Amino acid sequence: MEKRESQALPILAILVLAVIWGYNWIMMKVGVAYAPPFTFAALRAVLGAVVLFAFMALMRKPFAVQAGPQFVLVGLLQTAGFIGFSTWALSVGGAGKTVVLVYTRPFWIVLFGWPLLGERVRGYQWPPPGFGLIGLILLLDPKTGGSLTGDVLAILAGLSWGLASIVAKRLYRRGDVDLISFTTWQMFFGSIPLVVVALVLPAPPIVWSPAFVVALAYNVLPASAFAWLLWMYALRRLPAGTAGMALLLNPLVGVLAAWLQLGERPGPLELGGMTLIALALILISVQALAEQRKTSRRERIQPPAFAERTRAMETTDRVRCENLTCLCEVPLGETACSAHCASPEGRDPHVVRCACTHAGCVEQNDRQLRGEVGKESL
C-alpha cells in the first residue's frame, strides 16, 4: 500500500505531462496561423533556451559545455530538425495526423539503433515496425486527403527526433552528463539554424494577436520549462519503461483535441492507420519494459559484497579497475590488470571488474591511507 501511495504523485505528473504535450500540438497549430512556421519555431526554441538557462542559474548548475560536438549534433536533430519540421508540417497539414506521424520516433530508433548502437533487432521486435509501416501507408494514402507535403515533413520530424535519441543514448553511455545542462545547450545550439532560416526566408510579419501570444507562451512555459520539470520528477520516481508507456497518451490527446477543437475528424483509412501505429507504439513500449525488468532482475542477483566493493569503468583507450580503497590504471593490451584482478566479466577485454592487488596500486593506496591518518591526527 505504501508503494502505491509513493508512486501516486509521479503517475499524476506523467499524466499531466501527457495532457500538456498532447495539447501543445493544438497550440502550435494556432501559432502558425499568425506567424510563419520557422519564425514561430525560432521564437519557441530561443525563448525556451532562455528559460532553461535561467533555471540552470537558479539551480546553480555549471554553464560549461560537457560534450560540445555531441550537444551541437543533438541540437541540430532534436531542436532544429524536430521542432522545425513539425512546425512546418503543422502549417500545411492537420494537427491530429501530424502528431501521430511525428510519434513514429520509436520505429526509427529500433531501425537505426541496429547499425548505430549495435542493438540488434530480434525476431519478436520486428512486428511493431511492420504494424507501423502498414499504418504509415494507410495514413499516406491520397484518399485520406490532407497534405502529402505535411505528412512527409511530419515523418522527417519523427526521424530527426529518433536520430537525436540515438545520439543522446550514445552520449549517456559515457556517463556524467547533466540532463538539465544537456537539454539547455542542445536547445540553444539547435535554435541558431532556426533563427538563420527565419531571417533568410521571405515571410509575412507576425500578427501579434492574443491567440498568438497565448500559443507562444504555452509553448515556452508549460510545454517546455514546466513540462521538463515534470518529466524529470516522474522519471526519477518511476521506471523508464512505465514513464515511456504513459507518454503514449500524447498523440491520443493530440488527436482528440484536434477532433474537438479544430474539427479534424479522421476518416476510416486515417483511423485505421492511427490504430496500427498506436498498436506498434504499445508493443515497443511493452518490449522495452520487459527488457528493463530483465536487466533489473540480473542486477538484483549480483552478489552484494562484490557489487559494493568493486565497479568497472571504461574509457576510450584505457581500462581502469577500482574498489573502495585502491586504484590502478593500465593501457589496454597489457596483462597487468588481468593478471592481478579477478575478472568474472573476462570475456569483454574493455570491462574488468576486480579488487586490484597490483604492487604499485597497493603502494599508492598505502600512501593515501597514511595521508588520511595524518590529516585525522591533526
Per-residue pLDDT at 175: 67
Tracing cell 524536430 back to the chain, one arrives at: 82
> pLDDT tens-digit profile of 3-30?
444 567 887 888 888 899 899 999 999 9
Where residue 368 falls among pLDDT bands split at 50, 70, 90? very low
Q: Tell me how far apart the alpha carbons of residues 195 and 203 are, in angstroms, rounded to a whole number.
A: 13
Q: Is the pLDDT of residue 244 over 70?
A: no
Q: Is the pLDDT of residue 99 over 80?
A: yes
Lowest mean per-residue pLDDT among 105-114, 153-162, 311-320: 311-320
Where residue 292 falls among pLDDT bands split at 50, 70, 90? low
Q: What average pLDDT does this structure show over 193-211?
A: 95
> pLDDT tens-digit profile of 261-289?
989 888 888 888 888 888 877 777 777 66
Where residue 118 falls among pLDDT bands split at 50, 70, 90? confident
% of the chain surpassing 90 pLDDT? 30
pTM of the model: 0.70
